[in-house]
Amino acid sequence: MTKTIMVDIDNTIADYTNGLRDYIRECGRGEEDYPCPEPTAYDFTLTGGWPFSGDPKAFTWWHTRAVADGLYSKEEPYEGAVDALNQLHDAGWNIIMATSRADDWRGESQRWLHRNGFQFDGYYNGDKTLLTPDVLIDDRPVTLEAMAAKGVTVLHPDHAYCTAALGRMFHRWAAVPLILDEPKHGRVGGYR
């Protein structure tokens, strides 16, 4: 039986944080004023050192402006993400790329996936908790929790804001195929 992996894009396979940081630098905001550290919470406004720290409206302004200037097409894939997911695809997994990007009306996300060499079987834009894949790879703690409660095996990167999240954490993408190949409780990919 073919199993399905649903994979988030921003800060899971694509480095949104560095993309936004680079955009802020391009706009003339220097590191001395805004060091733009790695976020400690999924909500970036809760991390100091960004031009929008403590101000959700300012975050929306910066994000919207960055997206309009091509942020989604400029993000870099995390090292090893393409190879790991293509290895799983070649091994027979169905790969569904998923995002909550409501502002990608130009289709930059799918072009980015193709341009960077990701092999995938489907693309979903919306509330991920409405689907029930066998495995979810995501960085949003509330989504990981909701999917684990549905019995979905959840994996997440080791970003500071999701290290305490439910599921199996990975440091490098190269580990993901190995994690999904581990038998646990008599089945493949048994981590929750």
The one catalytic residue among 8, 104, 134, 139: 8
User: Residue length, the chain?
Assistant: 192
Decide if 181 is catalytic: no
Pairing relationship of beta strands 187-188 and 183-184 according to DSSP bridges: antiparallel
Q: How many CA atoms lie within 13 A of 100 on its CB side?
A: 12
Task: Give me the numbers of helices (H) and strands (E) for the chain, helices first please.
Answer: 7, 8
Contact residues for 1 (Cβ-Cβ < 8 A; gap 6+): none
Which listed residue (10, 15, 134, 139) is catalytic?
A: 10
Tokens of 46: 């809760």
What is the residue whose two structure tokens read 């949104």?
16
- What is the torsion angle, in degrees rounded to the nearest 10, for the CA atoms of residue 105, residue 108, residue 49 and residue 137? 100
Please tell me the distance from the alpha carbon of residue 95 to that of residue 93, in angstroms, as a whole number. 6
8 is catalytic: yes
Residues tagged active-site: 8, 10
